[in-house]
Amino acid sequence: MDTQNASLIDSHCHLDFLVFDDDRSAIMQACREANIQSIIVPGVCRKDWQKILSLCYKNDMLYPALGLHPCFIDEHHAKDLHELSRLLSTNTAKNAAENSEIQNLAGIGEIGLDFFIKNTDRKIQIYYFSEQLKIATQYQLPVLIHARKSHDEVIKHLKENTSLKGIIHAYSGSYEQAKEYLNRGFKLGFGGAFTYPKATKLRSLVARLPIDAWVLETDAPDMSPMAHHSEKNSPQYLLEIAREFASLYDNKAEFEQIMKQLYQNTRDILPSLHNRQL
Ligand SMILES: [Zn+2]
C-alpha cells in the first residue's frame, strides 16, 4: 500500500513545548518527507503565545492557535483574556500584509473544560472557557476544544454560542454527544487514544459516524499511539494514526481516498489553512 501520496494535516500538536527544542527542525523535516503538510500548534498559556507565533511565522508548515488551557488555570489571569483580545484586534488583513507575527491564525485554542483532573475549580475553568468562546465568536475564529468528562457542559456552552465551529480534540465522548457536536458543525479529533485495542467504544465510533466527522491529530508530545506508548509522541507518527483510522473505517475505500477526505475536513473547519499555497 503506497501511502506517500496522501497529504496529511496534524490538527493538534504542541510543537512549541520545550521537549521539542532539540529535535524540532529534524521532526519538521521528517514530517515534510512523510507528506505531513501542515501542523496546528495550539497555545496553552499566555507565556507560550509569543514563542508559538514566532515559530509559526518562521515555518510555513506551522499554524498557530492562541488560548488558555483548562488544565493550567493556576497560571491564567483575567488580564490574559484582554491580551488575547488585543492580539486578535491587531490581526487584521492590513497588519498581515505588513508582516505582523500573527499570520494564518488557525483559531482559539487550546481551550475547554477538564473535569477529570482532581481538585480543580470548575467555576474558574468555566469562566475562562466561556470568555474565550465569546472572543472566538467576536472574531469569528474556530475553536480547538479540550473536553474530558465535561462534554455535556461543553455542549451547553456551544448552544449559547451557535455561530461557533471547531474541533473537539482527542474526542472521548459518547455517540450521542458526538452527534450533538456534529449537528453544530464541529469535527472530532482522532488521535493516539484510538490506537489502543482496549478503547473499543471509542474505536467503534469511527464506523458509526460519517467520515466527514473526523480530523487527524497527534497531540504530541502527549497521547503517543500504541506502537510508541513509552516514547515522546511526535507529529511524525501521524501516518500511523492515519492507517489506524483507515483500518477502523467500515468502507472499502482506498487509503488515499480516505486521507483526501480527512485532509479536506481539516481545511473545511480551519479556513486559515487556505491562506498558504499548499
Ligand atoms: Zn493539546
CA 218–ligand 1 middle distance (angstroms): 9
Q: Ligand 1 mean position to 209 CA, how many Å?
A: 23
Q: What is the pLDDT of residue 119?
A: 87
User: From the CA of 17, how far away is ligand 1's center (Å)?
Assistant: 11
Question: What is the crossing angle of helices 238-248 and 200-208, to 10°?
Answer: 70
Average pLDDT over residues 211-231: 95
CA dihedral 177, 182, 220, 78 (to 10 degrees): -80
| CA 238 to ligand 1 center in whole angstroms | 15
* 160 C-alpha to ligand 1 centroid (Å): 24
| Residue closest to 157 by CA, chosen among 134, 187, 186 | 134
**Residue 215 β-bridge partners:** 189
Tell me the CA–centroid distance for residue 145 and ligand 1, in Å: 9
Return the pLDDT at 2.
47
Alpha-carbon gap, residue 165 to 254, rounded angstroms: 29
- Output the CA 94–ligand 1 centroid distance in Å: 31
Query: Using CA atoms, how far apart are residues 75 and 45, in angstroms rounded to an integer?
Result: 7
Is 8-274 CATH 3.20.20.140?
Answer: yes
Phi, psi of 197, rounded to the nearest 5 degrees: -55, -30
Report the separation in Å between the CA atom of 112 and the middle of ligand 1, taken as the mean of its atom positions.
Answer: 10
Choose the weakest-confidence range: 94-103, 109-118, 219-228.
94-103
C-alpha 161 to ligand 1 mean position (Å): 22
- pLDDT band with cut points at 50, 70 and 90 for residue 99: low
Residue 7 near residue 259, CB atoms below 8 Å? yes
- Over range 128-145, report the average pLDDT: 97
Range list of H helices, the chain: 24-33, 46-58, 78-89, 93-97, 122-139, 151-160, 175-183, 200-208, 238-248, 255-269
Does residue 1 have a pLDDT over 50? no
Under the banding of pLDDT at 50, 70 and 90, the label for residue 94 is low
DSSP letter for each residue of 106-171: -EEEEEEEE-SSTT--HHHHHHHHHHHHHHHHHHT--EEEEEES-HHHHHHHHHHSTT--EEEES-
* Per-residue pLDDT band at 97 (split at 50, 70, 90): low
Cα 213 to middle of ligand 1, angstroms: 19
Mean per-residue pLDDT of the chain: 93
Please give the distance, rounded to the nearest whole angstrom, from the Cα atom of residue 43 to the centre of ligand 1.
Answer: 8
